[in-house]
Structure formats: C-alpha cells, structure tokens
Structure 1
C-alpha cells in the first residue's frame, strides 16, 4: 500500500565530500518512522509543474532506531534539477514533502547464505543501514562482503565507520576499491568491483563441486555497474533469484 505524503523537517546537513551531502530529516507527523533497511523515500520537490517530474527517490542511509529521524546521503548530479534544489535551496530548518517507506530491496528474514553487497557511490546507503541493523539486532548471518567502488579517496563515503564495523562484526568484510588511485599495501583495492567478488567466489567455491557456493548478491548503484555485475554473476553459475538490485540513474 502506498504511504501518504507527509512533512519532514531538515534538522542537520553535513558535507560528506565535495559533491555529497548528508541530510537528517525529522518526520513531523509521527514519533516513530518504521522501515526496513534497504527501503527508500520519495521527495516531492518544487522543481516542475508535472508531479512525476518533481519526484526523486533516495535510499535511507540510517537504520530503524525507534525515532522519527532518517538520514539520506545525496550526490550532486550535473544538470540534476532535484539535487541542485536540495544542495542550493534546502537549509537546516527547511521543510520537505516526502512519502515512504517504499521498496522491496531488503534482506531475507532468515539469512542462510553469504551476502555480497556490491555498490558504487551513494549506493552504499542501504548497505550501511543493513549492516548496522544486523549488528544491533544480533541477527544470525553468514559472511558479509561490502564491496564499495568509487573513483578517488575523496569520493569514499562512511569509510571510517565501516572500518569500525569490521572490528565489531568479525564476519563483516569492508572492501573499498578505487578506480583512479595507485595500488596500496592492502588497505584498499584498485580497479573495479567485479574482479573482487569473482575472486572471493572462486576462492570460496568448494573443491569437486560444480555448483557455486551459496551466496546472495545485492547490487546498488549506477546502471552500467549493475548490468555488468548481473552478467558476471550469472556467468559464475548463479541464478537470477540470487541477485537483488536497486538502480540509480
């Protein structure tokens, strides 16, 4: 069922990088905004006369904590009417019209396989929410691999926080990879995300067994990355039902 529109008040804005901002939004009509990690909200922005051209959807970057505050992480898009409005016209104290939660890009109730969270840019948002929720709720799980691709160090999001989560959740593996940085001694990877999950799956595959080892793949980010990832994952022998996606742009 589609949720009704409601009012949110922007209570905090932080520059996460040169082109990315974090927005904390307090819902004005409820004391507890309940959602599942991985879901999104849709904003109705005053940028066009037609309703469907005013709507912009963003994954919730925070996790359910019993409050009425959510966090969104948004990148400024060149020529993007929605993000330019949010970056230039919205301040702390501004009101937004939004609807949600929406979406089925969520974890299974019972996690029976290893999880591969593969993302680019602000596509890390739903996975940040999922990992925190697994830790807080002490949800039984297998290995979790967060493979986060971006161009430069300055494009990385939540890096220190995700490294800390590795220490608190031993089965969680944070693997940032940068396509335009020089190779390191192991603190990060260079290149693109695809070679990393292929390498892990190859290493984990049981000897003497033709089928791939049990895993679920969650993809979030730009269309080109998702299209290539789906092809490669299917080529490794996985089924379409093993792949879940949230598309940006």
Structure 2
C-alpha cells in the first residue's frame, strides 16, 4: 500500500467475537465502495496502516471488517480491544479485485472470505460455487448467512477437524479430486499466497485459462 495514502478519523460502531480468534468490527464509513475493495486501518495517526478487505455492510454509512487476532501482530491485539464509540483511522476504499456475482467460483481460505461477503450482501448472486478452506468448523465464518443464499453452493474444506459433515482436507485436495471444471467460468481466489499459487497452478493444469483466474493476496 502507498504509505502516503491519507487516513481519516472514524468511529467504531460495534465489535463482536465470532470465533476463538476472529472478530467482526463495524466502523462508520462515509465513502462509496465496491465489493472487493480494501481499506487501510490503524489506531494511531503516525503508525503505518494495515489493509483489510471490506466484508460487506447492511448500512450504507458503515462497513464491516473481518480479522483474526494474532498474538505477535502489529495491530490485531489492539484492534480486538476497541470498543463502540472509539476512534480509529481508515482510508478511502480502493482495489482492483472484483469478484463476479454470476456463474463464478469463489475460492478462499481463512479471512479471505471477506470480499465475497461484500458481494452476497450487496449484489444479487446467481450460480456461485464457494470453497472455503479453514482448519476447524469453528472457523466457518458466516456459515448461516451462506446457507441462506440459495444461489451459493458452499463447501467448507477442513484441514484439521474431521466434522463428518464437511470435506476433510485442504482446498487443493478437493479440487484435485474433481474431474471437470467449466472452462468458460471465472475463478476468484482470495487468501494466503501459498493457497493462491497452488490453486491457480492446479486450475491451469485442469484446462482453466490463466485469464479466467483472478487473485487477491490476504487482506
């Protein structure tokens, strides 16, 4: 991110803990944004911001951000302790990742699901396949929301826990076992660098054109 991008004071509207380490924070946000946009967040005016994908909103004057608290993180241990009414700093929205809302595959791991929530909360979706790679069922963020979206075919890939209901294994294991992919479909990948590289290479090996694959590294 451009270190000179301007940040503005804004107010925390609320924060909730949704898993052992994950939080949803709502902040006042007066700027128009598109699904896939990110914003820079910081708590002190003179510290560098961290980037977060906008995870949708049901209020045009707010946005929601998803993050996991990392004990050695530069921001998240402090961000997890903010309260409603606190002041933080946010940048105007920006980004080039634009997940399709029609006839698309969304593939993500961890908090990489955030930009896709921005799509299903704010656009009409149709014929979406969503793969979400997580360690345990506790990390299936927005599970109830997704299940209420009848146009989203959802598969959670659990790398550690064998829940008996979800796919047991990493996203790449699930994809490797799949025989056929529609070559006229776009694939949108968001998550860790390792996942994106492995999934992109696997899709290409199965005949998906490189130009049909769009990626966003973890935000």
Question: Normalized against structure 2, the TM-score is what?
Answer: 0.88
Matches within 5 A, 1:78-227: 78-88=71-81, 90-107=82-99, 111=102, 114-135=103-124, 141=126, 143-166=127-150, 169=151, 172-182=152-162, 184=164, 187-200=165-178, 202-204=179-181, 213-227=183-197
Kindly indicate which of the two structures has a greater share of residues assigned to helix: 1
Kindly state the Cα deviation for residue 12 of structure 1 after the two structures are TM-superposed.
Answer: 0.6
Cα distance per residue 1:48-107 (max 9 Å; x no partner): x6x5xx2100001114x562110001101231111112113x211111111121101113
Kindly state the Cα deviation for residue 46 of structure 1 after the two structures are TM-superposed.
Answer: 2.5
5+ residue gaps, structure 2, are none
Map of 1:209 onto structure 2: none
Q: Provide the rounded CA distance (Å) in 1 between the counterparts of 2:201 and 2:169.
A: 18
- Which secondary structure does the structure 2 equivalent of 1:161 belong to? helix
Instruction: Tell me the number of residue pairs that the alignment of Structure 1 and Structure 2 aligns.
Output: 216
Q: Is the 8 A contact 2:42 2:75 kept in 1?
A: no
Cα distance per residue 1:119-154 (max 9 Å; x no partner): 11111111111123333xxx6x4x211100101111
Residue 202 of structure 2 is aligned to residue 244 of structure 1: no
Question: Normalized against structure 1, the TM-score is what?
Answer: 0.78
Q: Is the 8 A contact 1:10 1:25 kept in 2?
A: yes
2:38 to 37, 40, 58: 40
The structure having more radius of gyration, on CA atoms, is 1
Superposition CA RMSD, Å: 2.3
Q: Is the 8 A contact 1:45 1:56 kept in 2?
A: no
1:62 to 45, 56, 69: 56
5+ residue gaps, structure 1, are 206-212
Map of 1:74 onto structure 2: 67
